[in-house]
Structure 1
Amino acid sequence: MVLSPIELTAAPSRKRLFILLSVTLVSGFNQGLILPLLSILLDRQGVSSDVNGINSMALYIGTFSTMFFIEKPIRSMGYKKGIIIGIILAALGTLLFPFLTSIWVWFVLRIIVGVGDSALHYCTQLWIVSSSPAESRGRYISLYGMAYGIGFSLGPTGINLLSIGDWVPFCLNTVLFVAILLFVRTLHPEYPEHSAKLASSSSNRYARVYRIAWFALLPAILYGLMEATMNSNFPLYGLRIHLSQASISLLLPALGVGSLLLMFPLGMLSDRIGRKPVLMGCAGIAGLMFLAVPLAGDNVLVLFILLAMIGGFIGSFFSLGLAYAADLLPRELLPSANVTASIHFSIGSLLGPGISGFGIQYVSTNSMFIMLGSAFTLFALIGLFTREARHQKLQSH
């Protein structure tokens, strides 16, 4: 059964919303755990920072490649089947890490996990955004961001389970995936909107998305850059400035803790004053804070406060950017916009670990924060010189 846009705009059902948010939380836990956990295990083996960073890119190679073919299958099979396939791939890849320890096998497994995570995020994001009324879209997408933030924050704490055994964190994550799979199976299948307007070529659809909402899609690149850099290479940065493993596992969740505090208020504020000014203001403040991180040295309390504030201001960057794009675009272009945002996220995620790993190894221990601070500040400045494309939106719904 394919639901029409009119049926979808009432609001997501509570049961469906709860399950989708739970899927997002578990996926966030997976990413929050896997990246720093594997970085620490590779560092134990004597793998250099630049090679470690390159290996971390594999997860996002999987995410990136998936976005080039996922839209058409999801239109045919629906959100539910897409989520189930994503869970199976992510769980299987995660389970195999502690038993197949070659660095190149891990590269392949990261790609598999990336494909699974990509399917999960594509389906949950699009299902929530397309079923949310425009006047409260910011709040609903903020709930999605909060769920991911909670999982992402809890993920690094699993590093402490290494004291029991290297396999324990991976198996815990797999158990969570299996549990959430049982809930997803109870959902009623639904599908992205089909429309005669989609008869136009794929290239024309993506060209329209970029023409109308290019600025709204930039936050996805920046969020991917930040998330992958911090999760993959902050553990290496922490080890270089002589932080303990316990301190690193405490500091990484600070980003998620901060995002949980401000994500819903920022979503509500964006409903009132618009997404663009909120995105620009948050980017400018976060850019300055990134540049201030090296000044904190190895003071764990100051680092926690700075990272929590950064997380607060940009923890909802991807979701608010997606909501902004949904404000600007006709409904039948939302699947294409979602694909584009995910590709942008993957581009940022691919660039982050490699660039920052190279910087830590050959330039400066602090180079990753200079890169991130400059990128977010530049986005805020670009926003000052761009006009909102709302007047181009087609009145199709």
Structure 2
Amino acid sequence: MGAHLLPIVALLTSTFFLLVGIGLQGILMPVRAASEGWNAYEIGLMGTAYAIAFTAGCLVAPRLVKSAGHIRTFSSLAALLAVCVLLNGLWVSPFGWIPVRAVSGFAIAGAYMVIESWLNERVTNETRGLVFSLYMAVSMAAMMAGQFSLPKVGEGVPAAFMLCAVFYALAVIPNALSRAPSPKPLVQARLDLRMIWRNSPAAVVCVTLSGVLSGAWTNMAPVFGQRVGLSTAEISTLLVATMGGGLVFQFPLGRLSDRVDRRLVMVLAGLIGLSAALAGLLVWGSAHLPLFAIAFVIGGVIYPAYSLAVAHANDFARPTDFVKISGGLLILYGFGTMAGPMLAAWLMETFGPRGLFLATGASHVGFAAYAAWRMLRRPDVVPAAERADTASVAPVPITTPETLRRELA
């Protein structure tokens, strides 16, 4: 196994440093904004701006790499991320943070695509599952490490922004010194909505709603935590519990969907998420420990929801259309993540912190209801042996069209 991993050690090291910085920045900005007294709309706009630019990055980054090369593009984008987070520390204002957060989203999308294209080139069919599982494990561990580093430095001091910049700078070094050859050109996502809708209406609606769920929770959960009196360490635990739920639930829900109608599993996931949201409405202002358990369950639905919907779409797709459909669904997911923060912000401004659970609960209802309705409209005619493997679909939020190239192998 060591021989297979040796060529990607530098790449995974760069990935780790990059994701630690992303994890720290992702929790630092909403927590600091909430402590500054910004309203939910201003904080939600940061999340929406990030989602818009990230989706645009998936469309534009391949052109940058084609003209500048993989190493120079990655180094430039990591440097741009360091500049953005330092600017956030220098000018603490929604007028500055919203556009700068958008630039960060664009840079992160491009950096992900370079990393994932490199991984695709370094693996074989025999090692693909191992390498990408390791990539996801390293990425999730780095995100958690970044989130848990915030309590050590505190959101109210410049050191937190400086530490983010340090991690982004460190991410440049291993890739820049690597002697590995540059990979092939990047995959560019395209949106053919008519074709995707004809293939699977359930996937179109449910992928979009999974983006709403992810965008609402990821961007506004730190604000919820700050407003209900959680400490910085407890807010970090809230987010890590969400990610932990996604890791734990991803496999059993995916395996179950490989054996029964995936839409039935999607209905089940939506009902589990709705139950967690209702529990959150009951305990949001009381003990903190139940909130961590609720976040764990919500994460267990938010992240697998995307994988379930994409796998369902691929069940009905021709092999030659896998990347086109999955890339288009990723763009639709991006549209959902644009709407999610503003929906949560509106409900939190109207109903207080519990509005976050109203947003996630409503999205879970739509997710489950539409999947159930589609079960009545089209029977499940795909034999279990011919279904796409759910394990081949990476969980969002660390997926770009480059990861989708795995499905062609």
Q: Does the 8 A contact of 1:217 with 1:340 survive in 2?
A: no
State how 1:166-177 maps to structure 2 within 5 Å. Answer: 166-177=157-168
State how 1:255-274 maps to structure 2 within 5 Å. Answer: 255-267=242-254
- Which residue number in structure 1 is paired with residue 111 of structure 2? 120
- After TM superposition, give the deviation of residue 114 of structure 1 in Å: 0.3
Deviations 1:93-142 (A, max 9, x none): 22332123333222221111100112234455567689989999888766
- TM-score, scaled relative to structure 1: 0.76
- Which residue number in structure 1 is paired with residue 181 of structure 2? 188
Between the aligned partners of 1:242 and 1:165, the Cα distance in structure 2 is 16
- Which residue number in structure 2 is paired with residue 102 of structure 1? 93
Q: Does 1:373 align with 2:364?
A: no
CA 1:82–1:281: 2 relative to 1, 3 Å: farther
SS at match of 1:97: helix
Q: Does the 8 A contact of 1:83 with 1:119 survive in 2?
A: yes
- Which residue number in structure 1 is paired with residue 268 of structure 2? 281
CA 1:84–1:57: 2 relative to 1, 3 Å: same
- After TM superposition, give the deviation of residue 48 of structure 1 in Å: 1.9
Q: Which one of 339, 346, 371 corresponds to residue 351 of structure 1?
A: 339
- After TM superposition, give the deviation of residue 274 of structure 1 in Å: 7.6
- After TM superposition, give the deviation of residue 164 of structure 1 in Å: 8.8
Q: Does the 8 A contact of 2:34 with 2:226 survive in 1?
A: no
In the alignment, residue 308 of structure 1 is paired with which amino acid?
A: F
- Which residue number in structure 2 is paired with residue 69 of structure 1? 60
Q: Which one of 46, 50, 58 corresponds to residue 41 of structure 2?
A: 50
Q: Does the 8 A contact of 1:71 with 1:335 survive in 2?
A: no
Between the aligned partners of 1:245 and 1:142, the Cα distance in structure 2 is 30
SS at match of 1:227: helix
Q: Does 1:239 align with 2:226?
A: yes
CA 1:83–1:332: 2 relative to 1, 3 Å: farther
Deviations 1:221-246 (A, max 9, x none): 34432333223322322233333333
| Aligned-pair Cα RMSD in Å | 4.1
- Which residue number in structure 2 is paired with residue 153 of structure 1? 144
Between the aligned partners of 2:124 and 2:317, the Cα distance in structure 1 is 14
In the alignment, residue 376 of structure 1 is paired with which amino acid?
A: H
In the alignment, residue 153 of structure 1 is paired with which amino acid?
A: M
Count, aligned residues: 378
Deviates more, 1:140-149 or 1:115-124: 140-149
Q: Does the 8 A contact of 1:78 with 1:192 survive in 2?
A: no
Q: Does the 8 A contact of 2:117 with 2:186 survive in 1?
A: no
Between the aligned partners of 1:240 and 1:320, the Cα distance in structure 2 is 33
Between the aligned partners of 1:127 and 1:209, the Cα distance in structure 2 is 28
Q: Does the 8 A contact of 1:142 with 1:319 survive in 2?
A: no
CA 1:161–1:216: 2 relative to 1, 3 Å: same
- Which residue number in structure 2 is paired with residue 304 of structure 1? 292
Q: Does 1:248 align with 2:235?
A: yes
Deviates more, 1:215-224 or 1:370-379: 215-224
Between the aligned partners of 1:76 and 1:334, the Cα distance in structure 2 is 27
Q: Which one of 286, 292, 295 corresponds to residue 282 of structure 2?
A: 295
- After TM superposition, give the deviation of residue 339 of structure 1 in Å: 4.1
In the alignment, structure 2 segments of 5+ residues that lack a partner are 389-407
- Which residue number in structure 2 is paired with residue 3 of structure 1? none
